A and B are shown apart, each in its own frame.
Chain A
Amino acid sequence: MNNGNGRRLNGETEEDDDDEGSEGDLDAWERTYADERSWESLQEDESGLLRPMDNKTLYHAQYRRRIRSLSSQATTSRIQKGLIRYLYIVVDLSRAAAEMDYRPSRMAVVAKHVEAFIREFFDQNPLSQLGLVTIKDGIAHCLTDLGGSPESHVKALMGKLECSGESSLQNALDLVHGYLNQVPSYGHREVLILYSALSTCDPGDILETIQKCKKSKMRCSVIGLSAEIFICKHLCQETGGSYSVAMDESHFKELILEHAPPPPAIAEFAIANLIKMGFPQRAAESSIAICSCHKEAKVGGGYTCPRCKARVCELPTECRICGLTLISSPHLARSYHHLFPIVPFDEVSSSVLSDPHNRLPRSCFGCQQSLPNPGNKPSLRVACPKCKQHFCLDCDIYIHESLHNCPGCESFRHLKSPIATEE
């Protein structure tokens, strides 16, 4: 845009305004913002600087980075994950949570995804427990105590969705610290803070509180909803948690779900622990018993603690009477894949792609979709380092995040055995 026709006025110290070029400026503004989300698809801006090309590439790039950082952690330290987690979710319900940059409001979006998260969490960590804390008017409230039942948490949260006042990170941390300090030492203490506000109004020195949390081995992670705040970053760095800021709702969802699989155990804390567990029997359909959790008489269903024979309604849980951890074997099995993650796939470098002598598979081994032409865009395919099959990025994500085993490797294993017998 050129509005360079400004006259140079001599001798005049503060010129009159002639709003030259203002219409032109407006054009430029509208050009960029006319379409509500156009800035997300900017390819290269006027000044020639690269911007994110589209959401998908951005998303893929972020995913690759994540995988890489996870695997680098895994290789440097023995993979050791906390399977028994005690997690507090802190939901910031201060004034800022009412803002509407997320629709209908930050608060509603957070609640929605917390619900999904809670379910996913118990799915992936059947041995773990979580609790809910909210911050409102500068005070932290405990919404639910640590427990293993998704329903009760979700119900409690949905009942309390209103916001006001300031936010106080310190109060929340202090409260959570008080609770988490009491959990058994084999459990992993975690806090996940969903923070809307951009500041924290604390009664005392928050830096001390952070040190206290660090000492108690509480892993604190924060997901911000609008911008990076120094104190949150500091908190996460100190306590070994992760800090991220959501770009929009789908990104937020992704970020929160990242916390569902167990995090790597905090190093000094990672002493192997033997834990006593009970695998209770499902009670006979017709038997009547008073359950220890609801103090109600129930017909059929429920489980019986193998040690004290008390009845409980849901698994997994801790026996109310004798304190034994009660789980079912499928629960335990599901927790296992975290211990044996599949290796990250390698990006197929563009030099290999452009080499004509290399005959590369044309389609993804997973979904059979054709892979983009070589030379078109770099690194749009990945290869499993073990079975050498190529995959598209979507399959890559699906394999690592949901499936937890490589289709290539699996099918080769099946293929190999019959061949071996034939010979």
Chain B
Amino acid sequence: MKFQIEDVTVYFPYDHIYPEQYAYMVELKRALDARGHCLLEMPTGTGKTIALLSLITSYTLSKPNNPVKLIYCTRTVHEMEKTLAELKLLHAYQTTHIGDRARILAVGLSSRKNLCVNSRVLAAENRDSVDASCRRLTASWVRAAAAANPNLPTCEFFEEYEKAGSNAVLPPGVYTLQDLRAYGKEKGWCPYFLARHMVQFANVVVYSYQYLLDPKVAGYISKEMQKESVVVFDEAHNIDNVCIEALSVSVRRQTLEGARRNLNKMRQEIEKFKATDAGRLRAEYNRLVEGLAQRGNLPFTDNWLSNPALPDDILKEAVPGNIRRAEHFLHVLRRLVQYLEGRLETDNVEKEGPVGFVASINTHAGIDQKTLKFCYDRLHSLMLTLEITDTDEFLHIQTICDFATLVGTYTRGFSIIIEPFDERMPHIPDPVLQLSCHDASLAIKPVFDRFQSVVITSGTLSPIDLYPRLLNFHPVVSRSFTMSLTRDCICPMVLTRGSDQLPVSTKFDMRSDLGVVRNYGRLLLEMASVVPDGIVCFFVSYSYMDGIVNSWNENGILKEIMQHKLVFIETQDVVETTLALDNYRKACDCGRGAIFFSVARGKVAEGIDFDRHYGRLVIMFGVPFQYTLSKILLARLEYLRDTFQIKEGDFLTFDALRQAAQCVGRVIRSKADYGMMIFADKRYSRHDKRSKLPGWILSHLRDAHLNLSTDMALHIAREFLRKMAQPYDKAGGSGRKTLLSQEDVEKMSDGILNEMQY
């Protein structure tokens, strides 16, 4: 359908539109008009992505004079592919309406692991080794050597791509990663480099968060993006964590051991070059004396990770004299590694600010702040000089240099925390030194500054006023939308008591109470006997899950549960978990029924959908607070309080509730779906907790469901499941418009809009 939002003609590829999608587009348009940033919360299953894509592309079409580029960031490759597939559909629709004028170029960009088409390279197991394998075939010096000696291996796809020169472009169209690979294979061009090249010219780019937020990657991928861009962060409820992770480094014993090996290897290389090609080292030295840290424009293929510090904070000065010579630099690094090893030897938890830490490095290892700051650039230069292609082997020393550069650059918003062991497992020594960033606004600031509009959107952004404070920006629009439903297909409940009327909670002092453990067990058992197909359970942590599943096993409840359904468990091992998930789905498909035990904040909670029969019920056992004794969390809380005046309690509750909402939201992925959500902890009945849940859950949480015991919940579940199994009218009953046709939209007043907002 085609309709008008103020001066923009919106092309929407479906015949009907949900009222909330329309409202969403209107708000988005206002933000684009104002050239400002915005925050939009809208539940999953309402077609957020297509609304976004269709408005932004239509906006560009309506204003051909200042075209905006769309940079769409997703969290996973799967989401990226889905987004591009939707865009393809939209594009086809636009083309049938306005023909060539709708022509765009849209590409997805991911790592070589997902784009490479060279079978020899793809055999490598992880991302870093694929990168390194590719580099071994394509680094400029490798290619130079191969030109002289045709027996040396190169990548034929890259050679073809290079040969095609400026002809190597993608014709307009929408390219998913799969399309890119297919196109690359057909033409014999490397899809990865082709995509990286085309990113600058594309109208729509879809890639991962890191490509904008992590300076190490953004530095070489996103440098060229124009200011007139709209940046969208989809599923952005955890964006603050992505931001702080991008600027955090942790160093363990293995890192230091690896770094030592790297240093030895580099020393050997230097010795070798001294013997065979001394001129090369001298040339580097001379260049550094002239004050050029970097070698200027590097060939495309020689880029490795960029500077970990944010672009504005990188010094444009000459490299200090004491590390210009390769041997000297290695010396400095060796002293640094030694110093860090010493710090790891501690028996106590230590916390320090960057300033103190730098001072201590200076006194004990004799390395000053400026030198630290240049570690990254100097290492990069040295690795190029030494023509190192096994970049995956050298990640350890890279980590050390990242650490040094960051600690030398930032004085605020960071702290260094050394923990001799994980506090949850005090008997296993596992010392770790972490440079942790507390300020999410640091990493995202360049994005806000640089681009015209930044859209942060997700199904759960409540309370919506906290995000601007955490990220330190001023949205021109921030709104939350509900979901218009033809029937009450979600049924959230707060369970506060077991069948014996005793309260249940994962509060610290009640956690190991056997009564609570039993009540939780009985809840699951009873639910397993009335809920068909799949049930998903989320626990507050791995250790809590292990503990409670153990007790259930001991008192026989687990066995009883297994009479109804098979039980699968998420572990920290990705492969194992994937297997468990596969089998879980199979058990749901074939009617056996299954339960999946999983952990809030885990991989499953973030990325796996349990829609339809894969999740008819999700039980959130407890409130998933972060591990509050964690030193890093405490440091972050302190910083948030001092800098942004965000109270600890508020932040922790907010964070716990967004995780909980994220977990339970896994079961509803579309409007035709239905599912129940049980918040099993008495603390959820408190207003200050509950009110932080997103509106689309709250609006279905009826007062009568706020303080239930197991038997009451059971009763509600039975009724709900029966009711949902009845056939229903998908178009919505009389009076409640849940699908709008073009005609409806045209005569739409603001009434609907106001209805959709909170």
Task: Indicate whether A194 reaches chain B with its CB closer than 8 angstroms.
Answer: no
Complex contact B729–A65 (CB within 8 A): yes
Residue of B nearest to A32 (CB): B704
**List of A residues within 8 angstroms of B9 by Cβ:** none
Partner-A contacts on B (CB < 8 A): 488, 496, 503, 505, 507-508, 529-533, 564-565, 588-593, 612-613, 616, 623, 625, 628, 647-650, 652, 682-683, 685-688, 691, 699-700, 702-704, 706-708, 712, 715, 718-719, 721-727, 729, 733-736
A13 to B683, CA, bound (A): 12
Complex contact B687–A13 (CB within 8 A): no
Complex contact A6–B687 (CB within 8 A): yes
**List of B residues within 8 angstroms of A13 by Cβ:** 625, 628, 648-649, 652
Q: A8-B650, A15-B686 are in contact. List 17 more A-B contacts (CB 8 A).
A: A4-B687, A5-B687, A14-B628, A15-B683, A22-B685, A25-B707, A28-B706, A29-B704, A47-B700, A47-B702, A101-B718, A199-B565, A206-B590, A227-B725, A228-B725, A229-B533, A230-B591
- Tell whether A10 pairs with B591 under 8 Å between CB atoms, given A28-B703, A245-B722: no
Complex contact B704–A31 (CB within 8 A): yes
Task: Indicate whether A9 reaches chain B with its CB closer than 8 angstroms.
Answer: yes
**List of A residues within 8 angstroms of B706 by Cβ:** 1, 3, 25, 28
The residue that B590 contacts in the complex, of A17, A46, A62, A231, with Cβ under 8 A, is A231
Task: Indicate whether A207 reaches chain B with its CB closer than 8 angstroms.
Answer: yes
**List of B residues within 8 angstroms of A5 by Cβ:** 687
Task: Indicate whether A50 reaches chain B with its CB closer than 8 angstroms.
Answer: yes
Complex contact A29–B708 (CB within 8 A): yes
Residue of B nearest to A66 (CB): B727
Mask for A24-54, Cβ within 8 A of B = 1, else 0?
0110110111000001000001110111000
Complex contact B725–A169 (CB within 8 A): no
A29 to B494, CA, bound (A): 12
30 contacting pairs across A/B (C-beta < 8 A)? A8-B649, A8-B650, A9-B649, A10-B647, A11-B647, A11-B648, A13-B652, A14-B507, A14-B625, A14-B628, A19-B682, A21-B687, A28-B703, A28-B704, A29-B712, A33-B704, A33-B715, A39-B719, A45-B702, A50-B735, A51-B488, A198-B593, A199-B564, A199-B592, A199-B593, A207-B590, A224-B725, A228-B725, A230-B591, A232-B591
Minimal beta-carbon separation of A360 from chain B (angstroms): 20
Partner-B contacts on A (CB < 8 A): 1, 3-15, 17, 19-22, 25-26, 28-29, 31-33, 39, 45-47, 49-51, 62, 65, 101, 169, 198-202, 205-207, 224, 226-232, 244-247, 378
Complex contact B592–A200 (CB within 8 A): yes
Complex contact A62–B704 (CB within 8 A): no
A199 to B592, CA, bound (A): 5
A244 to B727, CA, bound (A): 8
A51 to B487, CA, bound (A): 8
**List of A residues within 8 angstroms of B726 by Cβ:** 62, 244-245, 247
**List of B residues within 8 angstroms of A198 by Cβ:** 529-533, 564, 593
The residue that A227 contacts in the complex, of B589, B707, B722, with Cβ under 8 A, is B722
The residue that A200 contacts in the complex, of B591, B702, B715, with Cβ under 8 A, is B591
Complex contact A226–B702 (CB within 8 A): no
> Which of A17, A22, A32: most chain B CB closer than 10 A?
A17
A10 to B637, CA, bound (A): 12
Q: Give the number of A-B contacts (CB < 8 Å).
A: 161
Complex contact B703–A46 (CB within 8 A): yes
> Which of A1, A17, A227: most chain B CB closer than 10 A?
A227
Complex contact A21–B685 (CB within 8 A): yes
Complex contact A227–B682 (CB within 8 A): no
**List of B residues within 8 angstroms of A227 by Cβ:** 530-532, 616, 718, 721-722, 724-725
> Which of B625, B652, B703: most chain A CB closer than 10 A?
B703
Complex contact A228–B591 (CB within 8 A): no
The residue that B648 contacts in the complex, of A10, A32, A101, A247, with Cβ under 8 A, is A10
The residue that A247 contacts in the complex, of B588, B628, B652, B723, with Cβ under 8 A, is B723
**List of A residues within 8 angstroms of B565 by Cβ:** 199
5 pairs of A and B residues whose beta carbons are closest in the complex: A231-B591, A25-B707, A245-B725, A230-B613, A227-B721
**List of A residues within 8 angstroms of B588 by Cβ:** 230
Minimal beta-carbon separation of B651 from chain A (angstroms): 10
Complex contact A230–B592 (CB within 8 A): no
**List of A residues within 8 angstroms of B729 by Cβ:** 65
Complex contact A230–B532 (CB within 8 A): yes
The residue that A228 contacts in the complex, of B532, B593, B704, with Cβ under 8 A, is B532
Complex contact B503–A17 (CB within 8 A): yes
Complex contact B688–A1 (CB within 8 A): no
A181 to B102, CA, bound (A): 57
Minimal beta-carbon separation of B239 from chain A (angstroms): 23
**List of B residues within 8 angstroms of A20 by Cβ:** 686
A4 to B652, CA, bound (A): 19
Minimal beta-carbon separation of B731 from chain A (angstroms): 12
Complex contact A46–B702 (CB within 8 A): yes
The residue that A169 contacts in the complex, of B591, B628, B650, with Cβ under 8 A, is B591
**List of B residues within 8 angstroms of A230 by Cβ:** 532-533, 588-589, 591, 612-613
Minimal beta-carbon separation of B368 from chain A (angstroms): 39
Complex contact A199–B532 (CB within 8 A): yes
A231 to B534, CA, bound (A): 12
Complex contact A11–B649 (CB within 8 A): yes
**List of B residues within 8 angstroms of A11 by Cβ:** 647-649
- Tell whether A50 pairs with B736 under 8 Å between CB atoms, given A28-B704, A227-B530: yes
Residue of A nearest to B686 (CB): A6
Minimal beta-carbon separation of A80 from chain B (angstroms): 24
Minimal beta-carbon separation of B295 from chain A (angstroms): 51
Residue of A nearest to B623 (CB): A14
A176 to B725, CA, bound (A): 26
Minimal beta-carbon separation of A306 from chain B (angstroms): 47
Residue of B nearest to A168 (CB): B591
A70 to B616, CA, bound (A): 30
A198 to B717, CA, bound (A): 14
- Tell whether A6 pairs with B688 under 8 Å between CB atoms, given A230-B533, A247-B726: yes
Complex contact B718–A226 (CB within 8 A): yes
A68 to B725, CA, bound (A): 19
Residue of A nearest to B647 (CB): A10
- Tell whether A201 pairs with B530 under 8 Å between CB atoms, given A230-B613, A247-B723: no
A17 to B510, CA, bound (A): 11
Residue of B nearest to A22 (CB): B707
A284 to B565, CA, bound (A): 62
A21 to B688, CA, bound (A): 13
A46 to B699, CA, bound (A): 10
**List of B residues within 8 angstroms of A3 by Cβ:** 685-687, 706
Residue of B nearest to A245 (CB): B725
A232 to B508, CA, bound (A): 43
Complex contact B531–A17 (CB within 8 A): no
- Tell whether A206 pairs with B591 under 8 Å between CB atoms, given A10-B647, A13-B652, A65-B727: yes
Complex contact A19–B503 (CB within 8 A): yes
A17 to B496, CA, bound (A): 11
**List of B residues within 8 angstroms of A39 by Cβ:** 719
**List of B residues within 8 angstroms of A224 by Cβ:** 725
**List of B residues within 8 angstroms of A228 by Cβ:** 532, 721, 724-725
**List of B residues within 8 angstroms of A32 by Cβ:** 704
A351 to B642, CA, bound (A): 65
A113 to B734, CA, bound (A): 35
Complex contact A226–B722 (CB within 8 A): yes
A26 to B507, CA, bound (A): 23
**List of B residues within 8 angstroms of A247 by Cβ:** 722-723, 726
**List of B residues within 8 angstroms of A169 by Cβ:** 591
Complex contact A1–B532 (CB within 8 A): no
**List of A residues within 8 angstroms of B529 by Cβ:** 198
Residue of B nearest to A69 (CB): B727
A403 to B508, CA, bound (A): 68
A363 to B647, CA, bound (A): 69
Minimal beta-carbon separation of B494 from chain A (angstroms): 9
A15 to B653, CA, bound (A): 10
Complex contact A29–B488 (CB within 8 A): no
A205 to B590, CA, bound (A): 8
The residue that B591 contacts in the complex, of A33, A202, A245, with Cβ under 8 A, is A202
